[in-house]
């Protein structure tokens, strides 16, 4: 299954993707995750994108498309993939259509208040990337990942000014993809307001699993 997880930041795309990878047995490809890894090792790509990410803006289409095109040429995605955080603009979606045939797009439906609450409390493992929430799903030990023992931190772009900017960017540049994919008959809406276990149930129902 070749699919896209579409939705605002903090909608739970990454969290559901971790579960969906097990259900569908296809890899998750997170462009944000790839950029964060590049920032962590200070590669040329990381140096180029750090400021853009910290400000809550989008990395340019050419850079992002080239990255995804290269990733989708690898063997492990032959059976399918979950694109988490890509495409985020119409030009990205149009480019994607030239090198891969997406079968389903999951639209994570959540109002801004839900996003602000989720992102404000989000904590991420620096080592394995697992997401926690300070209030809803805290780590057992403060600052330590329950899964791998890595350090748990607050993403630079989860600060209030960056959250505001990311929501603006989402509404202006990414939300038009909802109609773009709905018109192609690929869109499945899921209610992304509840806690993750319920979102998994909603996802399976939408997928007919």
- Residue number, 59 or 154, with CB nearest to ligand AMP: 59
User: What is the closest distance, in whole angstroms, from the C-beta atom of residue 84 to ligand AMP in the complex?
Assistant: 7
Is residue 13 annotated as a catalytic residue, yes or no? yes
- DSSP E strand stretches across the chain: 2-6, 28-30, 81-84, 104-109, 122-125, 131-133, 152-153, 187-191
Sheet holding 131-133, edge to edge: 131-133, 122-125, 152-153
Choice among 36, 118, 122, 123 that is catalytic? 122
Choice among 13, 36, 118, 123 that is catalytic? 13
Q: Would you report the helix, strand and coil content of the chain in percent, each value rounded to 5? A: 50, 15, 35
Is residue 166 annotated as a catalytic residue, yes or no? yes
For residue 13, give both structure tokens.
């795309």
Residues contributing to the site for ligand AMP (CB under 6 A): 9, 31-32, 35, 52-53, 56-59, 64, 85-88, 92, 157, 166
- Strand 81-84 vs strand 28-30: parallel, antiparallel, or unpaired? parallel
Is residue 171 annotated as a catalytic residue, yes or no? no
CB nearest ligand AMP: which residue? Answer: 32
Is residue 127 annotated as a catalytic residue, yes or no? no
- Residue number, 55 or 204, with CB nearest to ligand AMP: 55
- Residue number, 85 or 114, with CB nearest to ligand AMP: 85
Instruction: Answer left, alpha or beta for residue 42, where phi above 0 means left and psi between -120 and 50 means alpha.
Output: left
Is residue 104 annotated as a catalytic residue, yes or no? no
Catalytic machinery residues: 13, 88, 122, 155, 166
């Amino acid at each position: 299954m070749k699919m896209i997880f579409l939705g605002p930041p903090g909608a739970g795309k990454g969290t559901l993707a971790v579960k969906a990878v097990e259900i569908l047995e296809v890899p998750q490809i997170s462009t944000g995750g790839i950029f964060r890894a590049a920032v962590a090792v200070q590669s040329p790509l990381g140096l180029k994108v750090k400021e853009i990410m910290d400000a809550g803006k989008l990395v340019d289409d050419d850079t992002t498309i080239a990255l995804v095109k290269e990733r989708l040429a690898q063997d492990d995605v032959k059976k399918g993939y979950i694109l988490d955080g890509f495409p985020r603009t119409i030009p990205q979606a149009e480019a994607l259509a030239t090198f891969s045939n997406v079968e389903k797009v999951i639209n994570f439906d959540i109002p801004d208040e839900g996003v602000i609450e989720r992102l404000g409390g989000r904590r991420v493992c620096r080592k394995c990337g697992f997401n926690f929430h300070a209030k809803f799903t805290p780590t057992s030990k403060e600052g330590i990942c329950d899964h791998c023992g890595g350090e748990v931190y607050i993403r630079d772009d989860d600060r209030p000014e960056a959250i505001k900017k990311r929501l603006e960017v989402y509404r202006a540049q990414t939300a038009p993809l909802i109609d773009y994919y709905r018109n192609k008959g690929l869109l499945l809406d899921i209610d992304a307001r509840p806690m993750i276990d319920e979102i998994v149930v909603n996802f399976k129902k939408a997928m007919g699993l």
